[in-house]
Amino acid sequence: MELNSKVPSGPIEKKWEKHRFDMKLVNPSNKRKYKIIVVGTGLAGGAAAASLGQLGYEVEAFCYQDSARRAHSIAAQGGINAAKNYQNDGDSVYRLFYDTVKGGDFRSREANVYRLAEVSNAIIDQCVALGVPFAREYSGYLANRSFGGAQVSRTFYARGQTGQQLLLGAYAALSREVALGSVKMFPRHEMLDLVVIDGHAKGIVVRDMITGKISSHAADTVLLATGGYGNVFYLSTNAKGCNATAIWRAHKKGAFFANPCFTQIHPTCIPVAGEHQSKLTLMSESLRNDGRVWVPKKAGDTRKPWEIPEDERDYYLERIYPSYGNLAPRDVSSRAAKRMCDEGRGVGPGGRGVYLDLFDAMNRLGRDVIAARYGNLFEMYERITGEDPWKWPMRIYPAVHYTMGGLWVDYNLMSNLDGLHVLGEANFSDHGANRLGASALMQGLADGYFVIPYTVADYLAKVKPGTRPSVDHPAFKEAEREVEARTKKLLAVGGKKTVDEFHKELGQVMWEYVGMGRNEAGLKTALQKIPQIRERFWKEVLVPGSGSDLNQELEKAGRVADFLELGELLAYDALMRDESCGAHFREEHQTPDGEALRDDEHFAYVAAWEYKGEGKAPELHKEPLTFENVHLAQRSYK
Amino acid sequence: MKLTLKIWRQESPADKGRFAVYEMNDVAEDVSFLELLDILNQRLIKKGERPVAFDHDCREGICGSCGFMISGIAHGPQKLTTTCQLFMRQFKDGDTIVAEPFRSRAFPVIKDLIVDRSALDKIVQAGGFISARTGSAPDGNAIPIPKKDADLSMDAAACIGCGACVAACPNGSAMLFTAAKISHLGLLPQGQPERKQRALRMVAKMQELGFGACSNHGECEAVCPKGISIDFIARLNRDYMVASALETMEPVKKV
């Protein structure tokens, strides 16, 4: 199948403007005749539902949490990028675009990235108007800070809770629409299938997580904004409930899954403490602005950090990447930490950790300044580890954080499945093979506030009002039957192992063979092991209770069953992408000093996978990537 | 260490509920409270018993999903800490820990430790917003905001909506929650046009939903995991009194 990215013609600076004019509009009096389903209420979904409700569409929004305000966007700490150039330090839309394409290691679509940079400024304006209390200078103007992978200060922030404040802004806008009746909110509802009629996405099947009731919802178009799939690794910085079920169900109904192997490992997380660990906690990357990362020069050095003299410490990021230093991009920093630990120079229990040391900054700036900047992060660290960062340098280690891959979308954010739009982390489009810090919040809100309201109108203008199918259509009944059968099947296995045990087992295989460093033999091992775990899951899993009331084990079981399929595709994609790029590091392809070595001749494409049925190999569709503005070059942060 | 867990078990809203006692051996001190429940649940499932239902999600203290009464205190004994960030090093070998759901008239129990906090959403829907249509905003720097106002606004905005304040209040009042939102928006210039209506609508909704009144008990502030100050309640009262004197409440309308 031909993948048409529908990128408008013309110079990159004019594409979005031209496209906005070329797109069709929906007559204001017709808007209320269209129903739009939005699944997920994070930055992308929440912003989209609020904005579309304001425009006059009938919107239904779904989330699995008990309130729309709890989506995992809320946990983003550091900030949001915009090309305002308020700092007069040389920033521009073009530079943000350039940095993002380069940061993504030339595996994103130029036109999408340019649009993202272009709307970034309007996002800040909108958020300020909604009452987001961004950090301010004493003048009253907005403050900025720098962030990993950038040499300008373009990051706006609200203490260490930027994601929370941006989400609460979108949630407030959404709440207003709920009060007006333009958005109907369905919390504690989980999407379990997509309904496709004659090739068009026309609705979803959901489970009410309190009563267990399965029901159908029909719409003129469906928007998925359900986040990423990082929990396929079991341990990640994602919330426990984050899952891939919505996008995986859509994939099985025909939507292509693009670049699943592009998974980001964040360099600054609190190291794993033990077997019982249920999730990993990120320490904001902003700590790297003032923190220095180091390990002892000598392997197996067990002295206390303050007993190690300056000349026996290896500030390896500053040594290897003198121009970016401690601000080297995430993928680069993560791999460097792993290399140090592989050399036996890691610190802390198990030797999987490096120091993030703010003592130089404390001496230079004073404790008050450090407390104002990072006080809440220090408290969080102490609460979790029991160690006081005012006395000990923090220990950090990389952890799975964000997934750049996701459902394939065109320039209009529509998947290859007509009528199915995908927003935010759930799509693949803007971050290529590696996302830069403070860019996820930007993309979520760009998609929700400033892209989808236009492109969805263009789509709906081609749908005749009043042609929306009823939920009595056989396709809905069939999908409901499938969902119910699957629930029954999960409950009927009656084995001896818990869902968590299978999830952990999958996670170990993913982290070991499909994690930070990947190679052919390891990926082939993973591709053997994952189907075996999946087979055992369906024979040996123990899901207690019934489907007809609140059953958290059943919810988890469905999600893990999907991860057991997605994990295989992820490993397969990683095997087929026989190059290194961004966060995808194939050990066979590296420069003499251990950096990712791309193969642009053979792999400058988006790998979009088509589901072909159970037990069948997925089919690869390629969208070639061309770089007309940012020239293909090896990334260098030296 | 060895701990005894006494947990509230309730099948459904209709069920009367009861405490069940579980002995936990070999608990490591770097286990979080929710991980302790994970460990217990794995054991219960294997024994063919029903696991304990509890709300949780981010497990890093920001989403506001989790929260129970832990030995009589909302979110447990450690100050400024959500349940998910409460680690076993806060307890001693041999301790008995009692876990029960947040109890309040406006928060009916759904199952075990899970309560329905949708009333908090309804308070926000009543007026906890600025009606700024997408696309209508001026440049972010067009309105300078004094740093101290922005900082104070942020102090209030840090509320995670967990409901601990309501559960801790002897009157079951949602004043701290509501005051935080009213102060967050009321301290900013953007929030001024709707300030009076916001106070009238949110307070009316709060009363309608069965939350109690504030009698300056202060327990809400004491248990708040984000340290929201009860000073904000004074701001709410001020806004509400001014608004009551000057305006009558109007419903939320389309712009």
Picking from A373, A399, A425, the residue at the C-terminal end of a domain is A399
| CB–CB contact A138 B147 (8 Å) | yes
Distance from CA of B213 to the nearest CA of A (A): 24
In a domain, A102, yes or no: no
Structural domain contains residue B255? no
Query: Tell me, what's the pLDDT at A149?
Result: 66
Residues in Cβ contact with A328 at an 8 Å cutoff, skipping those fewer than 6 apart:
A148, A149, A317, A321, A336, A637
The average pLDDT across A37-42 equals 98
* Secondary structure, 3-state, chain B: CCEEEEEEECCCCCCCCEEEEEEECCCCCCCEHHHHHHHHHHHHHHCCCCCCCCCCCCCCCCCCCCCCEECCEECCCCCCCCHHHCEHHHCCCCCEEEEECCCECCECEEECCEECCHHHHHHHHHHCCCCCCCCCCCCCCCCCCCHHHHHHHHHHHCCCCCCHHHHHCCCCECHHHHHHHHHHHHCCHHHCCCHHHHHHHHHHHHHHCCCECCCCCCHHHHHCCCCCCCHHHHHHHHHHHHHHHHCCCCCCCCC
Active-site positions of A read 330
Is a pLDDT exceeding 90 seen at residue A169? yes
- What domain count does chain B have? 2
- pLDDT score at A148: 67
Q: Which of B111, B144, B170 is the last residue of a domain?
A: B111
pLDDT tops 80 at residue A636: no
Q: Which of A381, A399, A417 is the last residue of a domain?
A: A399
pLDDT score of A373: 83
Let me know if A19 is exposed, middle or buried by CB neighbors in 10 A (0-12, 13-18, 19+).
buried
- Pair type for strands B3-9 and B18-24: antiparallel
Distance (Å) from the C-alpha of residue A240 to the closest C-alpha of chain B? Answer: 5
Q: Among A3-17, A63-77, A622-636, B19-33, where is mean pLDDT lowest?
A: A622-636
Mean pLDDT for A452-478 is 97
Q: Is residue A161 within 8 angstroms of chain B, CB to CB?
A: yes
What would the mean pLDDT of A70-96 be, rounded to a whole number?
A: 96
Q: Do A134 and B140 touch (CB under 8 A)?
A: yes
Best A186, A379, A383, A451 residue to mutate vs chain B (most B CBs within 10 Å): A383
For A233-249, what is the mean pLDDT?
Answer: 98
- Interface residue of A43, A65, A70, A282 to substitute, partner B, most B CBs within 10 Å: A70
Three-state SS sequence of A307-318: HCCHHHEECHHH
How close B135 comes to chain A (CA, Å)?
Answer: 7
Residues B70, B166: one domain? no
Q: Give A496 to chain B, closest Cα distance, Å.
A: 7
A635 pLDDT above the threshold of 80 = no
What pLDDT does residue B255 have? Answer: 65
- Give contacts of A 283-342 with B, CB under 8 A: none
| CA of B251 vs chain A CAs: smallest distance (Å) | 9
Q: What is the mean pLDDT of chain A?
A: 96
From CA B129, how far away is CA A93, in angstroms rounded? 30
Task: Tell me the count of A-B CB pairs closer than 8 A.
Answer: 224
Domain boundary among B82, B111, B140: B111
A381 and A504 in a common domain: no
Same domain, A284 and A393: yes
pLDDT tens per residue across span A580-616: 999 999 999 999 877 899 999 999 999 999 999 999 9
A550 interfacial to chain B (CB closer than 8 Å): yes
Q: Are A113 and A628 in contact (CB under 8 A)?
A: no
Which residue range is the domain that position A297 belongs to? Answer: 266-399
Tens of pLDDT, residue by residue over B142-155, are: 999 999 999 999 99
pLDDT, tens digit (0-9, with 9 covering 90-100), for B85-118:
999 999 999 999 999 999 999 999 999 999 999 9
Q: Is residue A101 part of a domain?
A: no
Average pLDDT over residues B160-179: 98
Domain region containing B175 = 118-246
Q: Are B133 and B233 members of one domain?
A: yes
At residue A71 the predicted structure's pLDDT band, cuts being 50, 70 and 90, is very high
User: What is the tally of structural domains in chain A?
Assistant: 2
Residues of A in contact with B160 (CB under 8 A): 164
Domain boundary residue, one of B70, B96, B111? B111
Looking at the fold, whether B94 and B127 belong to one and the same domain comes out as no
Chain B positions in Cβ-Cβ contact with residue A129 (cut-off 8 Å): 130, 132, 136-138, 190
Global model pTM greater than 0.90: yes
The mean predicted confidence, pLDDT, of chain B is 97
Residue B54 sits in the same domain as residue B136: no
Identify the closest residue of chain A to B111 by CA–CA distance.
Answer: A550
Contact between chains at B137 and A125 (C-beta distance less than 8 A): yes
A49 touching B (Cβ < 8 Å): no
Query: Across the interface, do B140 and A125 touch by the CB < 8 Å criterion?
Result: yes
Interchain pair A175, B129: CB under 8 A: yes
With CA atoms as reference, the chain B residue closest to A269 would be B60
Q: What is the CATH number of the domain that holds A521?
A: 1.20.58.100
The answer on A478 and A393 residing in a single domain is no
Does one domain contain both B144 and B215?
yes
| Higher pLDDT among residues B219 and A1, named by residue | B219
Same domain, B104 and B174: no
Encode pLDDT of A339-351 as tens digits: 999 999 999 988 9
Would you call A380 an interface residue with chain B, using a CB distance cutoff of 8 Å?
yes
Inform me whether the C-beta atom of residue A70 falls under 8 Å from chain B C-beta atoms. yes
Read off the CATH number of the domain in which B171 is found: 1.10.1060.10
Residue identified by tokens 């529908």 is A6
> Does A493 contact chain B (CB < 8 Å)?
no
